[in-house]
Structure 1
Amino acid sequence: MRFSQRMRASIKALAIVLSVAMPVALIVSAADARVGGGSSSGSRGSRTFSAPPSTSTAPNAARPFERSATQPSNPGLGAPAAAGAASRGGFFNRPGLLGGLAAGFLGAGLFGMLFGGSLFGGLGGLSSIIGLILQIGLVVIVARLAWSWWQRRNASQNAYAGGPAGGPAHYEAAPQPQQPDQIKGFGFGLGSGSAPPKIGPDDYEAFERLLSDIQAAWTKQDVTALRRLTTDEMASYFTDDLAENARKNVVNEVTNVKLLQGDLAEAWRDGDTEYASVAMRFSLIDKTTDKATGRVVDNSDQPIEVTEVWTFLRDRGAGWILSAIQQV
């Protein structure tokens, strides 16, 4: 009788955990199919290993690059990226389900050892397995709470110097003081103060146009257009991602791209090359379908909102092209 009551209590607790954990997992996976795969990729010239200043559009810290062809010129420049890579390394630090399972098995083993069993002695019965699943669910919840706290802490402390402090901005927020180079209707402004080169309305229109054109070329799998609109490095990443989709026999379509808010994080020159890092919040429909059946396998026809920092470059006498995408 006592075992039956414990079983019912465990199953009820498991249902509660799954009801919380599953929507979180779906939200995370829904952001990983679009252009760039939801990762930080590319190069920012001499500032590849320094963080772009935060802005009202992206008040939280931008993630270091997970894919970049730029190598640090000295150990000091590479320290932040190396530290980030080290923190993600190791089997138990892997993101997603694999890391959660590893942590859960370790927790179950240690629990068993504390109570006189072997490392895997806690997995002997059905109740122990349910207990293991509950532990995994608790690890997920605790990790999510810790991550939310960390994001709030970054926002409040303005982790990257040079940008305005405060919480995440919304398109409907109270109007900010008008900047000389602000684009009417789209909220583009100078997020971290004026910096050479001068970025004007024509440049902002070019950034918005690239946002849409690159997404359209990705959807059409037009590698030639992607190479024209991006650096060779970014084009190579996009080509590899398209090849991976082809291997999986799926097609990712990104449509209805609409810029909601954006502002300039910083602009600078490296020799004859000009750079501009721009925080952009935009909506889009991100849907992945099976190539053979047309069945939707990831995301849906419902629009989602995304905030990313895009870095553009242009050589003397040439137009802007995409050089990097960073998640925030």
Structure 2
Amino acid sequence: MMRGLLLGGLIGLLLGQGFGGLAGMLGLLLQGLLIAGAIMLAIRFFRSQSARNQAPAMAGVPRSMGSFGRNAAAQPEAGNVSSFPIPGIGSGFGRSAQASDEITMTPADLDTFQQRLTEVQEAFGREDHAGLRRLATPEMVSYLSEELADNAKNGIRNEVSNVSLLEADIAESWREDGRDYATAALRYESHDVMRDRASGKIVAGEADRPTETTELWTFTRQNGGDWKLAAIQQP
């Protein structure tokens, strides 16, 4: 098109149209440039819109420590659970790249984790802060105490009783900075209800129907001492 416009202008000059022919050529040339610019802008606009529409929507929320207080309304029914897959932990709770190799867990350790499950649940249901300090790390006690304070502020109490372990397995275990760590996948039943603090009326859950829960509990100990709860996570 540009060659055609230039050729047309030169022919006009040669035929005697003079500067009038040159002005006509320049006018056509300017119109052509404006049209070409508009077409390029339109192409860029449609390309950007198409790329934006094809981009996948990314919405991810990192998994964090789950709530300890639960009620039956938020738990799956026992009959709906057909298997007990042990989730992959990856790097574990608080594990750094400098952590040493995995350590070996014994059946006695697993029995201790089962015992801690019952003790911590019942201490939480009784709002026994002294018991929680004996069974959990200071960071975990702070977390549980905050949840108990929230319940008190809302005028409710989380009652947990009749804890029964159904299945358990070690998902990961390691040693770091002189401390042993172990994450156990625990599937258990319990009677878990929310009661009104004033009237004692159940506001969530069913007292005569146990709920089934699967969680990841991470324990820690130092120099062969007692295992203490360090974290609770939802798988």
Band of TM-score, shorter chain: 0.5 to 0.7
Query: Is the counterpart of residue 313 in structure 1 residue 207 in structure 2?
Result: no
Letter in 1 for 2:222: D
CA–CA distance in structure 2, aligned partners of residues 271 and 293 of structure 1? 49
Query: Is the counterpart of residue 58 in structure 1 residue 85 in structure 2?
Result: yes
Conservation of the 8 A alpha-carbon contact between 2:158 and 2:193: yes
**CA 1:59 to 1:266, structure 2 compared with 1: closer, same or farther past 3 Å?**
closer
CA–CA distance in structure 1, aligned partners of residues 199 and 144 of structure 2? 24
- Residues 295-318 of structure 1 deviation map (CA, whole Å, 9 limit, x = unaligned): 111111110110011110000031
Alignment partner, residue 267 of structure 1: 173
Letter in 2 for 1:34: R
Q: Number of aligned pairs? A: 155
Output the aligned Cα RMSD: 2.9
Conservation of the 8 A alpha-carbon contact between 1:58 and 1:308: no
- Residues 193-239 of structure 1 deviation map (CA, whole Å, 9 limit, x = unaligned): xx642211211111000000001110110111101101111100100
Structure 1 segment 1-328 matched on structure 2, within 5 A: 33-34=69-70, 57-60=84-87, 196-301=102-207, 302-328=209-235
Letter in 1 for 2:134: R
Note the C-alpha offset of 1:62.
6.6
- Residues 267-300 of structure 1 deviation map (CA, whole Å, 9 limit, x = unaligned): 1000210001111110111111101111111111
**CA 1:297 to 1:64, structure 2 compared with 1: closer, same or farther past 3 Å?**
farther
CA–CA distance in structure 2, aligned partners of residues 321 and 294 of structure 1? 32
**CA 1:32 to 1:317, structure 2 compared with 1: closer, same or farther past 3 Å?**
closer
Conservation of the 8 A alpha-carbon contact between 1:58 and 1:307: no
Gaps of 5+ in 2: 1-66, 75-82
- SS of residue paired to 1:199: coil
Note the C-alpha offset of 1:249.
1.1
**Quick one: percent identity of the two aligned structures?**
38
Note the C-alpha offset of 1:32.
7.1
Conservation of the 8 A alpha-carbon contact between 2:220 and 2:227: yes
Letter in 1 for 2:154: K
Gaps of 5+ in 1: 1-30, 39-55, 78-194
More strand by share: 2
Alignment partner, residue 20 of structure 2: none
Note the C-alpha offset of 1:60.
4.6
CA–CA distance in structure 2, aligned partners of residues 293 and 204 of structure 1? 39
Letter in 1 for 2:183: S
Between structure 1 and structure 2, the one with the greater Rg is 2
Alignment partner, residue 10 of structure 2: none
- Residues 243-287 of structure 1 deviation map (CA, whole Å, 9 limit, x = unaligned): 001101111101110000011111100021000111111011111
**CA 1:327 to 1:64, structure 2 compared with 1: closer, same or farther past 3 Å?**
farther
Alignment partner, residue 3 of structure 1: none
CA–CA distance in structure 1, aligned partners of residues 68 and 178 of structure 2? 35
- Residues 151-207 of structure 1 deviation map (CA, whole Å, 9 limit, x = unaligned): xxxxxxxxxxxxxxxxxxxxxxxxxxxxxxxxxxxxxxxxxxxx6422112111110
CA–CA distance in structure 2, aligned partners of residues 61 and 268 of structure 1? 15
Conservation of the 8 A alpha-carbon contact between 1:197 and 1:269: yes
CA–CA distance in structure 2, aligned partners of residues 241 and 254 of structure 1? 14
